[in-house]
Amino acid sequence: MDDRIISRVRELREKIERYNYFYYVKNESIVSDYEYDKLLKELEDYEGEYPELKDENSPSQIVGSSLKETKFTKVVHKKPMLSLSNTYNIKDVEDFNTRVKKILSSEQNIDYVLELKLDGLSISLHYEKGVLVQGLTRGDGSIGEDVTENIMQISSIPRFLKDEVDIEVRGEIVLPLSEFEKLNEVRVKNEEEPFANPRNAASGTLRQLDSEIVKQRNLDCYFYYLVDSEQHGVAKHNESLKYIAELGFKTTGIYDVCKSIDELEERIQYWEEHRENLDYETDGMVIKVDQLGFYDKLGATTKSPRWAIAYKFPAKQVSTRLLDVSYQVGRMGTVTPVAELEPVEVSGSVVRRASLHNFDEIKRKEIKIGDKVFIEKAAEIIPQVVRVVKEARSGEEREIVEPEKCPVCGGELERKLGEVALKCMNDRCPAKLQRRIEYFVSRDAMNIDGLGTKIVERFIEIGKLKDVSDVYDLHLYREELENLEKMGKKSVENLILSIEESKKREYSKTLYALGIPFVGKYLANVLSVESKNIDRLMEMGEEELLTIDGVGKKVAHSVYQFFKNEDNLAMIDRLKNYGVNFQEKSSEGTGEELKFKGKTFLATGKLKHYTRNGIKEVIEKFGGENLSGVSKKLDYLIVGEKAGSKLKKAQELGNITILSEEEFLNMIS
């Protein structure tokens, strides 16, 4: 056998064992789930191809932790707590279905149950005559840790069942996202290291020797598996979920019985898109054969059952190397440090750069150039550096030095007292101008299609774009536009038509496009309705602005100062001369009625008639405000299919009006 293969197998085992130690013992993730699973799959492939390399002590044969450093009593599981085989590829789900059918060749009508895969800590509970007697962690799959005293502090774990049965039920202990945010806020205030993610927080909490800490952190638990279901008169897995719920166990209540692979794939896609509505982390879906009578025939490997598989969603958080730091200057002059990364795939796309937010954040997280860092996509859009893996440092890492001058124009930088933002004070900074123009032409503003970053950069460089109003002179430079890469006569013609069309945009959109500090889409709509035209708005003093609902001191001062700036007034005059609309239309349906003025809205679940952004625009058009979460400030919750935890929370609060999509349509008709 090639020595390189033996060496690689040894390296893989050492790496995986080290990652297991940090994950299960230290409650720290020093590598992403995706990277860990790739390494484990590579090891399994080698051991499968070369049987002589197999070893019963290999991490491919062991479930979870070795329990060498546990502080709790070790207890042997009556039935092993196996882990599931993972895949990130829908093709593997199809292969799983093929294998199941092959093994059950004489069987017909195989159904599958699709459930959420919660990202927490597995637990097994034992009840005698309906009374909780013991709680065990997964441990190494054969032996778990006795954490009975700690699980007694979790309110969603029943101490007494509704029936006096002897039973073993397994579930997942999680820290709700809302509690995770509160916990980290407190830790930061107390100058403690915040938890990296809810899973680590849940695991670290359950292993506290002081059970009072467990009680304070408001852990939650959802149950998903009844051991020896058939002994309780249950023939199918979906029936076992209903049975344990009747006994008093908390389940997610979210599962689908699927009769084909097409149904499975359709529901997996649905939850990949809608999992953000949940108040707990879920990193994938679990697929189980529904008929319990097939389980013995399907059997299991030493580590995983053959009657179930886990499909994991594309990684939200992965680790990579921070190679360098560059700087981005925003339209208001804010200098943002940007991490230049070793390319890595996150949530289905390759990421090479990520936000470091500001220099205070860099200091707080102790980030250095050369560090191994975890990144994630904030709100599934903007990559950001979450934390550093200090254990991976070699000593050659370099400090990130705050710039003394603007990295673009060399102008003076200033940080106002009490603010974290470092700002370029040069009003003529090319980077500030570029960001202002990009903001002006963006979809939510003037919506000028085809005027991308490359065109803006080039025309600033040759002196043809000195102000946002210069956009309306671009028709004079057809030849220069046509000579740009990926531009031709047709593209230029479409761009010029889009620029001309933008002059007819609603007054509220034009107002938003000006980029007045603190004036977003909602306030731009309110100000446009209240003022009717730009001239009237420019006449308003701070006191009058404060009489408008939704306008506070900061906004009033910002609007007033914006219209006292001579450069801004000159820009508005130029835009008027080009024919840009600064007048509120009086026709019905433009938002003048402000039916929803002073009311707050939130949409959840799958909508039939709107996209999520589409319904937000309608709400703002009629003067309403969109909220991002359910709270006492919310007036209306618009509910689509599979509404989830937001609907439940709204019902619990009791003061929120819950609307179907049809009821909302009636309100605006």
- Hey, which residues are catalytic here? 117
Q: What six digits make up the tokens of 148? A: 């009975």
CA distance 333 to 426: 8
Q: Which candidate, 655, 654, 667, places its Cα nearest to that of 615?
A: 667
Neighbours of 508 (CB within 10 A): 22
Maximum pairwise Cα distance, the chain: 86
Q: What six digits make up the tokens of 650? A: 């709204």
Exposure string for 211-222, b = 16+ CB within 10 A, e = fewer: beebbebbbbbb
**Sign (positive or negative) of CA dihedral 610, 616, 622, 626:** positive
Q: Element (H or E) spanning 172, and its range?
A: strand 167-174
CA distance 5 to 274: 42
Q: Which candidate, 101, 98, 119, places its Cα nearest to that of 109?
A: 101
CA distance 123 to 529: 56
Q: What six digits make up the tokens of 38? A: 């790739």
**Sign (positive or negative) of CA dihedral 49, 50, 56, 57:** negative
Residue 453: φ, ψ to 5°: -60, -45
Q: Judge contact between 606 and 641, C-beta under 8 A.
A: yes
Percent helix, strand and coil across the chain, each rounded to 5?
40, 20, 40
Residue with tokens 């205030």: 189
Coil vs helix vs strand at 386: strand
Q: Judge contact between 456 and 425, C-beta under 8 A.
A: no
